[in-house]
Chain A
């Protein structure tokens, strides 16, 4: 079946612009996660949802970052007034349940802020 789909695959934007990154999880997966991975680092947790409810947003670095999953399926991660330090790979993952269930990752969106 289809895996986790993220779009766009690459995004180049100018500093100060807003960007929206999309994640389409595996159909039927309850939980959805956003991670950010800087070059040479492991993925860093940002936030996650069970269905449409945002359960934990403790990893969002500041209030320029927000995420939503209004219908419990597709999710959007929005970064307002982008800065160069926001450049990274943004990874989305989904899991079948919210309990002891492995994460399935998408290919990621490579964001470059110039």
Chain B
């Protein structure tokens, strides 16, 4: 069965600190991988996606993620966080060619100015 694990429930960082949020998935087949972000009071927005090709993908606002197939992981990184990155981050997976997503439970990021 498909599942997505996000091990960090709440992460607190100071501005300029580096960020890495873990995501591991279980899925029977080839996958598409996503990170979505939800800023306070807003809807879920796509941060970045991996369909195929270069396993290091770059998204908006300086975020990037690396697909490591052997580890079933798709960790999200940012070298230097800002206060405005305070949000909830969701990792998601779908089967290749499918669109319906399976989400992790989310990681709440709080950045302290």
Contacts and interface: CB of A to CB of B under 8 A. Distances in A.
Contacts, number: 57
A43 B90 contact: yes
B43 interface: yes
B32 interface: yes
A100 B32 CA distance: 8
Nearest to A50: B99
Please tell me the size bucket of the interface on B: 20 to 34
A45 B101 contact: yes
A1 interface: no
Interface residues of A, number: 27
A25 interface: no
Given A42-B106, A105-B45, A100 B100 contact: no
Question: Closest 4 A-B residue pairs measured CB to CB?
Answer: A42-B103, A105-B44, A107-B43, A105-B43
Interface of B: 4, 6, 32, 34, 36, 42-46, 49, 51, 90, 92, 96-97, 99-106
